Amino acid sequence: FNLAIKSYKKVSKGLHMSDNTKAIDTTGGVEAVERALRVLDIFNPGDSGLSLKEVSTRSGVNKATILRLSVSLEKFGHITRDAEGLFHLGPSLWRLGSVFRQNLRMGPIVRPVLANLVDTTGESASFYVQRGNSGVCLYRVNSKRLARDHVEEGEIIPLGMGSSGQVLDAFSICQGNHVNTIRKNGYYLSLGERDPDVAGLSAPVIGIDDELLGAVSLSGLCHRFNEETVESYRDAVFDAAQKIRSDIGDI
């Protein structure tokens, strides 16, 4: 019986003290992902490179696990290793940080432009960004009309469908059927693609380094997007896209 108790304590200690650290509650999460994030989180300003031992000591993750995790982290550019085997944060984290900072600073610029677009046209205005194979409505100002196209911020759309999805695809992944036409014209008009009653007209916002920042979109009921109005709507969307590009470039 005493031997069994000792064996139980030994196993229990191993379960609760794995990775050379105290037990961490991973309820509701993925333990491997949390270990990878712990490895990334140990770097401090001024670190010129950390040895495997230093990474293990700071993170509490054992060396063998760190080496396994680093294969995936290096593949996605989140960590790099130099000729001496020292670990450094990778360039992908800089890109993610740039996206985060850009999105934070864009709100005060984009929202007034969308509001002005709504006042000018009477239709709803949105700003979409590309995230992987989808588009996300980052900012939205809905029309004051009772009969309108209503979208909430945070809604996700597939690329290559609807005016904003087509524009994001054409200026990022370039897989859609209308890529060349959209890039040549600089906009896309969708009539009933995502909803038979809804039309949309979108144009890209291209940054000063020729990167795609997002797409300005105007949407409303199809019968209001006729030959007479589409031309003025297109000019208004172009002006909005240029205004956002110009204001962001001044920051």
Structure confidence by residue, pLDDT tens digits, 73-99: 988 888 999 999 999 988 887 767 656
Lowest mean pLDDT among 14-18, 92-96, 226-230: 14-18
Per DSSP, the three-state class of 151 is coil
pLDDT score at 28: 61
Mean pLDDT of 134-160: 88
Q: Hey, what are 224's tokens?
A: 């209001």
Per DSSP, the three-state class of 196 is coil
pLDDT score at 96: 72
8 band by pLDDT with thresholds 50, 70 and 90: very low
Dump strand ranges (E) for the chain.
79-81, 87-89, 124-131, 134-141, 156-158, 188-191, 198-206, 212-221
pLDDT score at 174: 85
pLDDT score at 101: 55
pLDDT score at 15: 36
Residue pair 50/86 in contact by the 8 Å Cβ criterion: yes
Residue 27 has pLDDT above 80, yes or no: no
pLDDT score at 227: 87
pLDDT digits (tens, 9 = 90+) for 155-213: 888 888 899 999 999 998 888 788 999 999 999 999 998 889 999 999 999 988 788 99
- How far is CA 67 from each of CA 43, 70, 73, 76, 94, rounded to the nearest angstrom? 16, 5, 10, 15, 22
- How far is CA 130 from each of CA 40, 51, 136, 169, 245, rounded to the nearest angstrom? 25, 37, 6, 8, 16
What percent of the chain has a predicted confidence (pLDDT) above 90? Answer: 52
pLDDT score at 157: 87
Residue pair 200/162 in contact by the 8 Å Cβ criterion: yes
Determine how β-strand 124-131 pairs with β-strand 87-89. unpaired
**What length does the chain have?**
251
6 band by pLDDT with thresholds 50, 70 and 90: very low
pLDDT score at 103: 62
